Amino acid sequence: MKKPVVLSAIVLLIAGWGITPPSPSVNAQTPLVAPQTLPDATESAAEAKSTIVLLDPGAQPRQILRFKPAANTKQTTVLTMNMDMTGTVDGQVMPNINMPAIQMTIESEVTQVEANGDAQIKVTYTDVDVVSDKTAPPELIRTLRSQLQPLQDLTITFVIDQQGITKDVNVSVPEDLDPNLEQLLQQMLGSLEQLSAVPFPEEAVGVGATWQVSSAVPVSELPLDQIQVLYEVEDIEDDQVTLKMSMQQQSQESSQMDLPGAPPGVNFKVQSFATQSAGTMTIGFDRIMPLNGMMSTLSNMEFLLTAPESEQETLMRMTSSVQIMMDSL
């Protein structure tokens, strides 16, 4: 089960920071393998859109926040993720899983800007690797590197409007991508059109302003049907804004979970799930990717596992802590 958990964390990283929030840039190097497009991954996303509610306009002076990137704008962004996991199996404490840091270099490019301000974005992951870690088992590092290597050929294109809402998301993956990771990517893509880096409110805002973004999650293996993120303006200038963000979600509703990569016949049933995130990011209005940012996420999950040809259930509890740092060059 360790492998799917690792893959899930990587996909969350890609979806949460690498795809929607950012922008992209083309890798000049010719791909080693022919890419393929994930089919019909975002069809259900058209049925539900993000809802942005301004809670407090903040202090004067106020201004309307809008993205205004120019065509051919390029940006290089480095993401670093650290993750730790602990858990129990039927009350027995499992060994802690201290993952080595994962680092991704993202090249982003604004390929075209429409008359209405919509920007066409292309993102390429030019380098994905495990940061050297003497404390992690060498076998774990080798496994992670082999799984992450194909992501260097991952290309994402999408359109983002001036308010920060994304649409028309397309992901091309290499043919040799781990099928478990590919399946998880397909499951996550359904919500990308509702999840953008920071959807701005329509109204003018000042320091202290707060707004909430509610996004439906039409495709999810977790017992959640909506994500709500709270944003607060910490500082604002003519060309950039610094935001604090927080999210807290929980569900006590049981849900069956189809976990890619699990052995045939293994059944997962989520009993409860809770997650909370907090972070900050600085956004330049002439860029798509944040200039810098950080986020910490703590998640707790309890689920029942039933082995093949057995009715005996195993109760598992897992806690994961993820820290993500982002810096644009």
pLDDT category at 42 given cuts 50, 70, 90 is very low
**Alpha-carbon torsion (92, 93, 95, 96), positive or negative:** positive
- Return the beta strands (E) in the chain as ranges: 35-37, 51-56, 74-89, 92-93, 97-98, 102-113, 119-130, 155-160, 166-174, 210-216, 226-236, 240-251, 255-257, 267-284, 292-306, 313-328
Q: How does pLDDT run across 245-278, given as a tens digit for each residue?
A: 998 877 756 666 665 556 667 777 888 888 898 9
pLDDT at residue 27 in the model: 26
Q: What is the mean pLDDT of residues 9-29?
A: 32
More confidently predicted of 132 and 285:
285
Q: What is the mean pLDDT of residues 152-174?
A: 83
Which amino acid, one-letter code, is at 29? Q
Nearest to 129, CA basis, from 114, 117, 140, 141? 141
60, burial (CB in 10 Å: exposed 0-12, middle 13-18, buried 19+) = exposed
Which DSSP string corresponds to 125-194? EEEEEEPP-TTS-HHHHHHHHHHHGGGGG-EEEEEE-TTS-EEEEEEEEETTS-HHHHHHHHHHHTTTTT
Residue matched to tokens 């496994």: 143
